[in-house]
Structure 1
């Protein structure tokens, strides 16, 4: 885990501003990162519960913020909400109670504060840096680039707080109505650009629109299994959904625990159900899952005439597999029985 003096310095400065007493989580602002990319910040804590600064890198990162706004919506099922949260890509600087901090981290922060004559404020004065990555367990910062990004984000937030001591929200370009950004993008927000004097030039920038997730289409090139599956007799329709199990696995290449995936398969006619589990991370996961699916069909001694899916990720996973194995693949608006099966499976893992 990376926890530098620069990170702690700006975290303590930000905590002292109490910026969340002025801005709400709808008051997004933007700044130019040192590499030219645009960073977006959300100040959390106006309700007094979760004190944090959220940082989102570029349009892809900002889409995580837009996704979070849909959590109060009724348009997604519980499973889809869990899956959506698992795709978040952002960094938070949270402020916690001492009891919520790990002893080793708390000692590092205490030593820094004592050495610099700083006070850990109450309540929730302990900075906790959290990296959210798709399908991984939120963890501390392990990448120097991420550490640099959150330092720049906190500095921009401190600058916003400084300006708000003598200028109004409207003068800085914040929306006086407090309306949330929309998935269509286009809302104007304050934009801070670092200058040669070590301060910021202020302008305005349009927020980007929602960026739909793009899922790779893995090639299924196992010729032996393709021939076996193609020869199987057909039996009807299989409904399939790719989800992730909320029980992390520690064996990842970067050392960060990840959420294992499962391909849940429901025989629409006989209501038979079988899961295909995968304990691999990254690119290996897709290949292992397709191999396991093919071997399951061979054990059952039949294959579906049709596979139905209701989301783009599952559709992308199965596209080449179905093309090569002679199975029709159809996208449906919803598959209620399959959703119920997914909910049942997840509930059992969360007990």
Structure 2
């Protein structure tokens, strides 16, 4: 794997900021629900920040990047992923955490040695990772190191304000305090502003399915229109080490509704999973010579990907999260692999 190269001076500044943050112990008076934002002076990117540690289990600062990151933070805070193995795949954030030595990678230990620092004790070893849906948690690049350094410094400023004034942060569902940089005569200063929290969602590029000949042939060959199926995709619990960064393949499944049996199964890359859903759904109908009367789908992108198939075949599609069909398959795979 290709580990990003970062200058020692940049690493040193990040570790210095992390150690100062750890010494402050802001989790003693702040919770993960105390959301605030920091704007990157380099390019204006916004990170939505959450300090963890009030429960005494995980000590960290998570900086959720952009609107996609904000969406993931709000989804996690809402509890919709509680107990769901997919929770590990929704975050888009940079994270600074404080771990035991055995949880660090040899690359982390090499950086610490190279910059001449030493740590000892439980939850005393800084670790830095970037999280992105579909990818294995990975090492920071130079840009991310610099941004996280800025975030840690501004998080301490916010934390100190909160210590003096418990009502300093907005803590509502529509607005958020943001730390905004200003450059005056070559000097960088910071001010507080209020921004609106907008849940925009990530746009989905849905592939067009236009094989009319195959759909007509399927209508003729199918024995009947019968039964209830479910169609879904989720990230595999096992990463694949290819390219610059390990990723989690997308698992595509077609499930028979009465028995819960998987009747269609395939693996896809993150970029091609919607095409794979279309192909596997068609292939399953061809193999069984059955067109389902109804299908359940759990995700909006699955519904959109199958529209060009379900409409011509007059298949009823129900978007629902109230079914155990999906969870039984997902949990079964996670229990097998993990």
After TM superposition, give the deviation of residue 8 of structure 1 in Å: 4.0
2:262 to 228, 250, 274: 274
Runs of 4 or more above 6 Å deviation: none
* TM score, norm. by length of structure 1: 0.79
Who is 1:158 aligned against?
Answer: 153
Distance 1:334 1:95 in 2: 36
In the TM superposition, 1:1-351 aligns within 5 A as 1-2=3-4, 4=6, 5=8, 6-18=10-22, 19=24, 20=26, 21-33=28-40, 34-71=42-79, 78=83, 81-112=84-115, 114=116, 118-120=117-119, 122-141=121-140, 144=141, 147-161=142-156, 169=163, 174-175=168-169, 180-182=171-173, 185-186=174-175, 188-196=176-184, 198-223=187-212, 225-231=214-220, 232-250=222-240, 252=242, 254-268=244-258, 271=259, 273-324=261-312, 326-339=313-326, 341-342=328-329, 345-346=332-333, 348-350=335-337
Instruction: Flag the 1:303–1:50 CA change in 2: closer, same or farther, 3 A.
Output: same
Distance 1:311 1:82 in 2: 16
- Checking the alignment, whether the CA contact within 8 Å between 2:268 and 2:276 is kept in structure 1 is yes
Structure 1 runs not aligned, ≥5 long:
none
Any idea what SS the aligned residue of 2:48 has? strand
- Checking the alignment, whether the CA contact within 8 Å between 2:235 and 2:248 is kept in structure 1 is no
- Checking the alignment, whether the CA contact within 8 Å between 1:39 and 1:153 is kept in structure 2 is no
Any idea what SS the aligned residue of 2:139 has? coil
Instruction: Flag the 1:135–1:12 CA change in 2: closer, same or farther, 3 A.
Output: same
Distance 2:107 2:179 in 1: 37
Distance 2:202 2:149 in 1: 28
Q: Provide the aligned C-alpha RMSD in A.
A: 3.1
What are the Cα deviations for residues 128-156 of structure 1, in whole angstroms up to 9, with x where unaligned? 22221112222223xx4xx4245223323
Any idea what SS the aligned residue of 2:268 has? coil
Question: Would you say how many aligned residue pairs link Structure 1 and Structure 2?
Answer: 328
- Checking the alignment, whether the CA contact within 8 Å between 1:11 and 1:93 is kept in structure 2 is no
- Checking the alignment, whether the CA contact within 8 Å between 1:25 and 1:43 is kept in structure 2 is yes
What are the Cα deviations for residues 164-187 of structure 1, in whole angstroms up to 9, with x where unaligned? 66x564669723xxx8553xx22x
Structure 2 runs not aligned, ≥5 long:
none
After TM superposition, give the deviation of residue 12 of structure 1 in Å: 2.8
Distance 1:44 1:337 in 2: 32
Distance 1:204 1:172 in 2: 18
After TM superposition, give the deviation of residue 69 of structure 1 in Å: 0.9
After TM superposition, give the deviation of residue 339 of structure 1 in Å: 4.0
Instruction: Flag the 1:13–1:348 CA change in 2: closer, same or farther, 3 A.
Output: closer
What are the Cα deviations for residues 71-129 of structure 1, in whole angstroms up to 9, with x where unaligned? 3x6xx685xx33354222112122221111122431221221x2xxx443543233322
